Amino acid sequence: LINTSVDLEHVLVMVMESAKSVFRTEASSLLLLDDKKEFLVFHTVTGEKREEVSKIKVPVGQGIAGTVAITKQPMIINDAQNDDRVFRDVDKASNFITRNILASPLIVGDEVIGVIEAINTIDRNNFSQDDID
Residue 99, Cβ neighbours under 10 Å: how many?
16
Report the C-alpha gap between 46 and 29 in whole angstroms.
6
- Looking at residue 9, what is its pLDDT? 79
Task: Give Cβ neighbours of residue 37 (< 8 Å, ≥ 6 apart).
Answer: 60
pLDDT in tens, 69-96: 999 999 999 999 999 999 999 888 888 8
Query: Which among 104, 57, 101, 53 is positioned nearest to 80, based on CA atoms?
Result: 101
Query: Which among 14, 16, 82, 85 is positioned nearest to 53, based on CA atoms?
Result: 16
pLDDT in tens, 84-128: 999 999 888 888 899 999 999 999 999 999 999 999 999 999 999
Residues paired with residue 114 on neighbouring β-strands, in sequence order: 32, 106
Mean pLDDT of the chain: 89
pTM for the whole thing? 0.87
